[in-house]
Structures are given as C-alpha cells and as structure tokens.
C-alpha cells in the first residue's frame, strides 16, 4: 500500500508529516476549481475535494488524500486571488469581520471514499491602509484562499478563531487522522499507543 498526497501545498505536506507520515508520492490533480453558479461555500469545497481525490491516479490498494480550503464571507466564496488587486479586495471585505474557513478532506482507497468538512470561524482585525499595503507587498497572499494564511504574517491580523487551527492552515489533523485510520493507514499516534 502506498500513501499518495494529492496536493502540491507545502503546508499540507508539512501538516501530514506531523502525523508521522511521509507520502510515497505527491500528485496534485488538475481539477477545475471554478464555483458553479449559485453554489454555496461548503458544498463547493466538498465537491472540489471529491473531484480531486477521484482524479489522482492510484492502484486499488493505495491510499489517496486530497483536501481543499476555501474562505467564505456569508455566501461568498473567496478562493485564491488572481492578483494583488483581488487580494486587496478580499482582505478589505474580511477586515474587521468574522468569516468561515472551510476545509474538506477526502481519503480514497480502491472504490471507498471517506470525506469530512471542518468549518472554523475566524475574526480578522480592522486593517489599516499601512497594514494592508505592507502585507500585499510581502506577496504572502499568493496561492492562499481569501488572500491570507493564518500561519504567516497575516496571523498578526487574526485575534480570534473558533474551530481547528490546522483546518484553517489547510488540513484538520484530528479529522484527517481518523479518516486515514479508517482505511487502515498507520499513523504516529496509533503506533505509539501499541
């Protein structure tokens, strides 16, 4: 049995290693992440994650893990900004407000697909023009849902969360560990208990 991480995210690779797992292969799938017309954030995130896990080539005995994280402000899906202008738009919309960070996880082994979604609440402080401009110049917003990453410089903008910190980063570890155990993958905590 091989373990395949279906993500090119360095954050997800780092998080999965915290479970004592080293992927045998990293195969990010090429999946269209465009939201469907009228699609709500949580079903969107679940749909994209399932599409990702189904798109990764693997043998029947292999375990494939995929995830997707989206930032939701009400019904609005805030994906990865295309440029600094869109990042500024996202950050100004989030400034001084609470929003949701949704991470869906899917694990596939053969025909079996197990999924979960973890929803966390996040409050971003009201950003000054100086803070916003300095953050945009850092380019840390690139490739990040909602235009920020809590584990980077933008962590200084987040005074409060409710939910899973690792889910906000991009892979909720407790829930991911449960899915991996359910398909027979041994993880660090399991081995330590034996």
Domain-located, residue 127: yes
Determine the average pLDDT of the residues in 119-133: 98
Domain-located, residue 189: no
Compute the distance between CA of residue 177 and CA of residue 180 in angstroms, rounded to an integer: 5
* Structural domain for 118, as ranges: 3-183
Domain-located, residue 191: no
Domain-located, residue 144: yes
Domain-located, residue 193: no
Contact between 78 and 147 (Cβ < 8 Å):
yes
In this predicted structure, what is the pLDDT of residue 85? 97
Q: What is the pLDDT of residues 33-71, one digit of tens each?
A: 999 999 999 999 999 999 999 999 999 999 999 999 999
Domain-located, residue 188: no
**Model-wide pTM > 0.85:** yes
For residue 168, the domain's CATH number is: 3.90.950.10
Q: What Å distances lie between residue 15 and 10, 57, 109, CA to CA?
A: 9, 22, 21
Domain-located, residue 138: yes
Instruction: Tally the domains of the chain.
Output: 1
Which active-site residues does the annotation give?
68
Contact between 181 and 190 (Cβ < 8 Å):
yes
Domain-located, residue 104: yes
In this predicted structure, what is the pLDDT of residue 188? 74
């Amino acid at each position: 049995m091989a373990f395949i991480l279906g993500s090119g995210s360095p954050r997800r690779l780092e998080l999965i290693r915290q479970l004592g797992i080293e992927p045998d292969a990293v195969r990010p799938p090429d999946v269209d992440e465009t939201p469907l017309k009228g699609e709500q954030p949580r079903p969107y995130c679940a749909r994209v994650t399932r599409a990702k896990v189904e798109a990764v080539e693997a043998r029947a005995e292999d375990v494939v893990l995929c995830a997707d994280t989206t930032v939701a402000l009400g019904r609005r899906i805030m994906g990865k900004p295309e440029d600094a202008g869109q990042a500024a738009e996202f950050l100004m919309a989030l400034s001084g407000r609470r929003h949701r960070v949704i991470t869906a996880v899917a694990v596939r082994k053969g025909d079996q697909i197990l999924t979960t979604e973890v929803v966390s609440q996040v409050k971003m402080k009201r950003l000054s023009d100086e803070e916003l401009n300095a953050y945009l110049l850092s380019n840390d917003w690139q490739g990040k849902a909602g235009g920020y990453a809590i584990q980077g410089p933008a962590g200084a903008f987040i005074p409060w969360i409710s939910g899973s910190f690792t889910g906000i980063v991009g892979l909720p570890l407790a829930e991911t560990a449960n899915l991996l155990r359910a398909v027979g993958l041994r993880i660090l905590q399991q081995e330590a208990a034996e």
